[in-house]
Chains A and B, each alone.
Chain A
Amino acid sequence: MPPSKNASLLRSLVSEMDALASRVSKKEFPIPLCKIAEGRKITSVDFCPLLVDAMLTTHSEGFRILLNSDGGRPKELKEQYNSESKVRMLNPRLRFSIAHELAHTFFYDISKKPPQLAKTFTSGGRRTALDNLERNCNTLASHLLLPSSMFRNEFLRLKEITPESVLNFARKAGVSLQALLLRLNKSDSLFIGRYYRGCIFLIEQHEHKISVQAIAKPKSLNIARQLSLMRSGETWKLKAHDGSFAMLDVVTEMSKSQKRYKICVAETGRFEGINSFLVTFEEG
């Protein structure tokens, strides 16, 4: 099967995810994964220590999802999953893992007992069938957690794009900043809609090393070359600062230059000597 058939299967599944998640959530964040799971014949979601993030099993009544409790208390996590609400959600990593496993169920005929595999991706685009399946299930999971229309409306409703507003958006939707930025990075029309000539970065600082974890930037807007060249995984060296403006010596794979930008920063996490920050760059 040529790659275009993979693309067409992905498109149709994305539409299905968008519609389903909007419907069950009544167009309000966060998307209640528990309700989607019921509709997909997930009879149980269990938490236990695993060597992987999550597993999907089939049995005569449908599916079961096993999730890595990763040091958490399995019973409490299960209770939290069953009673998720706006004020009490599972952590974003677990929500993404559940959404990813839910995405896998859409490849099955769930009218059969046990469910039978009915469709799949094939190899293509220099990737194996397995790689394509996993990557596309991540995309589908992203649409289950952030259905396109709700995602668009929420982003366009933000009064301004600051680290705080982006952080609040992620918290409201119950998604990680990485997942949110990854999705934003694929949604050029949203940046155009706001005419946002800038970039949003999630960076990690460990001692004096600052590395880019995730990035969202417009593709079609004419932003500074230094911003458009920035890539995930690169390292920054901060030289000096002066009020709301900073001189940033940006070393990328393709260029080394200095330029002034308006920069806003918010700390988003601190763990074992690593600090995470959300940074917005905007041309003045």
Chain B
Amino acid sequence: MNAIVIARDLVKRYGTLTAVDGISFEIQKGECFGFLGPNGAGKTTTIKMIHCVSPVTSGTLIVNGLPAHIDNRAIKMLTGVIPQEITLDVDLTVRENLAVFANFFDISKRDAKKRIAELLKFVELEEKRDRKIDELSTGMKRRLLVARALLNHPKLIVADEPTTGLDPQAKHLIWQRLRQLKTEGATLILTTQYMEEAQQLCDRIVIMHRGKILKQGVPTQLVAEEIGREVVEIRIGQDEDEKIIGHLSAMSCGHERVGDTLYFYCRDGHDLMKKLVELNLPSYLSRPATLEDVFLKLTGRGLIE
């Protein structure tokens, strides 16, 4: 058995609100597993149960062979958490932040010193080691959160929207580091709203909505199965829909109207584009299908066929 996390009919309720509604999944050792979903989908709640800071309402959740439970220190010992919010200790310097956390994991002073030096190098914060937290940029703070999560050499790394609010440089640095950790054998669990992030990092994903898993699979396969290869967007008023759809009905592409845009999802968009040129429409474009299309299709409006 190679699964590090096994969830069966996992439920989480806060009072009358059901945040996670009977989901089942397995996360294999060494993979990067992503939870995607809009705000309030239940992703953060799910991973909080995995890393044992939120109790399970019902169902089973096994992490590294142990039942997940808020008092399960053994699971916490082997987990590193990169939180969504910047929860650094603002009263302390960069190095003190790491030293205090190393202490929490029972790491000896001497080992901690060595590990902290390694990690500051890993996240490129060596120069800032004696700075206070307020003096760091958001990107630096997030990198420090990554370093903090790695102090205990975690087997399981849980990252909750780790690149929120970062500029592209900072974002790519974090992605590189996370990929590097995976190649070193760690299992990575990620939640994100950025489809690009999921495509960059995840081997497998689940798309969550209103506490349920709508789909799970390999990102590229999900795109191919759910959308096809290409998406054609036509910016045009709704009153023209019937006419255009009539013209394009032979192309066997799915279509959807969202706001001011009519979308066509195709295996091959060539013929459709030719037809559009013939129709001489004012504004349209063809682009490769992405995970974002899958996401919007599943969590937004249903496909009209």
Our verdict on whether A and B bind, yes or no, reads no
